[in-house]
Amino acid sequence: MISLTAVDVLEKTTQETFMKNYKRDELPVVMKDITQGWRATKLWSLEYFERLAGEKEVKLYGTNSSRDKTMLYGEQTSMKIKKYFDLLRSGENDLRMFFFEILKEIPELQHDFEFPEIGLKFFKKLPTMFFGGKGAKVQMHFDIDCADIFLCHFGGKKKVMLFAPDQTPFMYHVPYSFSSLYDIDYRVPDYEKYPALKHLNGYETTLHHGDVLYIPPGWWHYIEYEEMGYSMALRALPRKPKNIYTMMKNVFWTRKVETFMRKKQGSKWTDKNEKLAVTNIE
């Protein structure tokens, strides 16, 4: 088993504790009290979203990697929200709504939450939502924009595994992507095939309705929906020169090269980089 430490949990969060103990050292933490008093904790449910936007068409993404000429998180399908929610209710465990932009799609939702006064400057134009059914998984990845992320969770439980950026040498990072190798099972790691995983040290937590998980910039995360649920990510864009540089490089170089080469070479490009993920570590 991969060595995992439980993420700290704060029942009462103050700006001082958050900034001094977590933001400064870039460590994850779960905050239990941030969403107290938000309308979201009481109102948000599939039925509520459906009333507001059931007729809206949304893109849905599956767990499997896209190996063709599209981007890594290849679009799988699209359908009306109400149809997707019916699938969730009947046990759909693969298709997820991913990076659903609240202000663009259901602006009414902005009245149901607040940006926490915690010492971070949140990027208020980009609260996003993620939905998944019981059993859905989000591949191990890190976020391209090096943001501080507050993942505010609602609905059923979900498990999150996290690794600091200094663990990257053991992660089988696929070059030009923001993910590790698809076929690694972090719950039952195959040490014969992927021996570097033995060196990993990470963190783990289970999120419940109303919990907020702080994901520091550049941290790897892998998510398993133990029950149907939905989360909202609030993000503060990087301010440290090193993180601004990494964000620029990711957005304007790495992603552009990946998109261009995928269009040109398709699965040949992916196959080559997946092999490199292994040989680079060796």
Ligand X SMILES: O=C(O)CCC(=O)C(=O)O
Which positions lie near ligand X, rule CB under 6 A?
130, 132, 138, 143, 149, 151, 221, 223, 231, 233
For residue 108, the one-letter residue type is: E
CB of 281 to ligand X, least distance (A): 23
Instruction: Provide, rounded to whole angstroms, the least separation between the CB of residue 272 and ligand X.
Output: 26
Nearer to ligand X, 154 or 194 (CB): 154
Taking the complex as a whole, how short is the minimal distance between the CB of residue 130 and ligand X, in angstroms?
A: 3
Least Å distance between CB 279 and ligand X?
Answer: 27
Question: Nearest distance from residue 231's CB to ligand X, in Å?
Answer: 4
Look at residue 135 and give its three-state secondary structure. coil
Task: State which residue has the least CB distance to ligand X.
Answer: 130
Comparing CB distances to ligand X, the nearer of 75 and 271 is 75
Which H or E element spans position 243?
A: helix 241-249
- The nearest distance, CB 153 to ligand X, in angstroms, is 8
Q: Which helix (H) or strand (E) holds 268?
A: helix 267-281
Please name which of 84, 171, 87, 91 lies closest in space to residue 129, comparing C-alpha atoms. Answer: 84
> Would you say 97 or 197 has its CB closer to ligand X?
97
How is residue 268 written in tokens? 């040949």
| Nearest-5° Cα angle at 136, 202 to 43 | 100
Are the CB atoms for 26 and 4 separated by under 8 Å?
no
109-113 CB contacts, 8 Å cutoff, 24+ apart: 109/40, 109/52, 111/39, 112/38, 112/39, 112/40, 112/43, 112/44, 113/35, 113/38, 113/39, 113/40, 113/152, 113/232
In the complex with ligand X, the residue whose CB is nearer, 149 or 228, is: 149
Pinpoint the alpha helices (H) of 35-101.
39-43, 46-53, 81-89
Smaller CB separation from ligand X, 138 or 277? 138
Residue 264 Cβ vs ligand X, minimum distance, rounded to whole Å: 28
The residue (of 229 and 269) whose beta carbon lies closer to ligand X is: 229
What distance lies between CA 31 and its chain's CA centroid? 17
Residue among 123 and 276 whose Cβ is closer to ligand X: 123
Which among 229, 98, 210 is positioned nearest to 158, based on CA atoms? 229
